[in-house]
């Protein structure tokens, strides 16, 4: 069963202007990520204008961006999983992308929903590694790995 509260609505909802996952960016993609067991999932529907050079293929920069946002969201959600509501409301720490590697395996369609599935490979106090696969119509189209590092909340959303 999928947890019904998206990471973006629970842990980092206020002041998040991120283009990929921010609730407060009117032009953003507004991805929503949820726990499903030990895996985080996100289903997102591209618009026709999210294309690459071909009108039916999803732009690689968007693929990279949503993998990045979904993975960092997964890290933040895991880090804050056992925190109380006050700690989530005014977190002392966030995580930011330190490095990211994306392998593009095949074109992803803008005409079908995109699904992201991520798992935490390593979780430490100050850094984490997450692997993520992007699927279109049930086929894996991209695979990424993101290294997130802990940063003070003054560098986080709304600061």
Q: Tell whether 25 is covered by a domain.
A: yes
Q: Tell whether 53 is covered by a domain.
A: yes
Give the chain's domain count: 1
Instruction: Tell me, letter by letter, the H, E, C secondary structure of the chain.
Output: CCCCCCHHHHCCCCCCCCCCCCCCCCCCCCCCEEEECCEEEEEECCCHHHECCCCCEECHHHHHHHHHHHHHHHHHHHHCCCCCHHHHHCCCEEEEEEEEEEEECCCCECCCCEEEEEEEEEECCCEEEEEEEEEECCEEEEEEEEEEEEEEHHHCCCC
pLDDT in tens, the chain (159 residues): 445 788 888 766 677 778 788 888 888 888 999 999 999 999 999 988 888 888 899 999 999 999 999 999 999 999 988 877 777 677 777 899 999 999 999 999 999 999 999 999 999 999 999 999 999 999 999 999 999 999 987 655 544
pLDDT score, position 32? 93
Q: Tell whether 2 is covered by a domain.
A: no
pTM above 0.85, yes or no: yes
pLDDT score, position 93? 77
The enclosing domain of 118 has a CATH number of 3.10.129.10
Q: Tell whether 1 is covered by a domain.
A: no
Q: Which domain holds residue 128?
A: 7-155
């Amino acid at each position: 069963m999928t947890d019904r509260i998206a990471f973006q609505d629970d842990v980092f909802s206020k002041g998040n202007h991120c283009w990929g996952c921010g609730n407060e960016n009117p032009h953003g993609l507004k991805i929503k990520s949820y726990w499903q067991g030990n895996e985080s999932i996100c289903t997102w529907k591209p618009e026709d204008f999210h294309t690459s050079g071909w009108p039916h293929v999803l732009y690689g920069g968007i693929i990279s961006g949503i993998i990045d946002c979904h993975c960092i969201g997964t890290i933040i959600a895991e880090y804050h999983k056992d925190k109380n509501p006050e700690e989530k409301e005014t977190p002392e720490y966030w995580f930011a992308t330190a490095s990211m590697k994306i392998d593009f395996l095949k074109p992803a369609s803008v005409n079908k929903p995109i699904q992201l599935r991520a798992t935490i490979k390593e979780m430490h106090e100050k850094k984490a590694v997450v692997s993520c696969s992007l699927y279109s119509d049930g086929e894996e189209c991209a695979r990424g790995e993101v290294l997130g590092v802990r940063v003070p909340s003054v560098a986080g959303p709304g600061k």
